Amino acid sequence: MAETHEFSAQNLFSVKGFVAVVTGGGTGIGLMATQALAANGAKVYITGRRMEALENAAKEHQPTGGEGQIIPAGPCDVTKKKDLLHLAEEVGRKEKAIHLLVCNAGVAGPKAEPENTDAESLRSRLWDNEDVDDWQKTYQTNVTAVYFTTVAFLPLLQAAMVPKGQHEPYTASVVTISSMSGIMRHAQGHFSYNAAKGATVHLTKLMSAEFQKAGIRVNSIAPGYFPSEMTAKESDERQKSHVREEKIQEKGHVPLERPGREIEMGMSVLYLAKNQYVNGEIIAVDGGVLNVLAGR
């Protein structure tokens, strides 16, 4: 039975001694996850295609004090198996195991609002503004890459497992970053993105069921509107993005009338990293949007 002191926030959410890998860790939600983990004691390897962004993020947001650390690794294009294998080998040369993998890298894909009611006009708008190659690239980054990134790190994840009877049992964890867009029926003009994120959601459930046999948990965070390069279209000199509250209020379907706060994403990452009893779950962190827009 747990004593009261064991329920302290420091005890519940400390990831001291953890090793984590975060794809797309230099900006947006990936950087939020990285900061939360490093601030609570984890050594976090961040990767992405832009080495300059990774190095700048590590320099600007390195935790002060404690044992946490942010380490740039790469560059790595998650859509290329050779890059993923090289990344896993690079981390494996430095670490015996990793406790957490955050599959965050993603792209927005093409956009075409289905606002016409006349079928000819509707077809023209969607047909002329979207391309098969763009759909394929969106799926490749948001779904296929999530699968192969996870597979590349399976041995290092399993190496973190603590069997029953040896201290406190532990299973390593994968957190995929899907989206509320993969759960709702509103296309938002992003048919390819929403369809891909829907596939990310189901892929998470498939990997959860299959990889638990290897002692690895898989869950997903489905974010709403958070400040990132995808939503704000840019980052500042510290790799941070900003979304005005007015922009969110204009959408008319966000009950909290603001974007998600970075620390709210950090809380979610720490919860899934530490709670051993959660597996195969899709946690929407969306400010109540799915209470307004129809989900599944």
- Catalytic residues, by residue number, are 178, 193, 197
For residue 139, the tally of other CB atoms under 10 A from its CB is: 19
Contacts of 59 (CB under 8 A, 6+ apart): none
Residue burial 173-195, b: 16+ Cβ < 10 Å; e: rest: bbbbbbbbbbbbebbbbbbbbbb
DSSP state for residue 225 in the 8-state scheme: S
For residue 264, the tally of other CB atoms under 10 A from its CB is: 15
CA distance 254 to 213: 39
Q: Which residues pair with 223 in a beta bridge?
A: 285
Peptide bond connecting 163 to the previous residue in cis, omega within 30 degrees of 0 = no
Q: Is the dihedral of CA 185, 190, 198, 226 positive or negative?
A: negative
Question: What are the angstrom distances between the C-alpha of 295 and each of 184, 185, 248, 291?
Answer: 4, 6, 19, 8
Q: Which residues pair with 100 in a beta bridge?
A: 20, 173
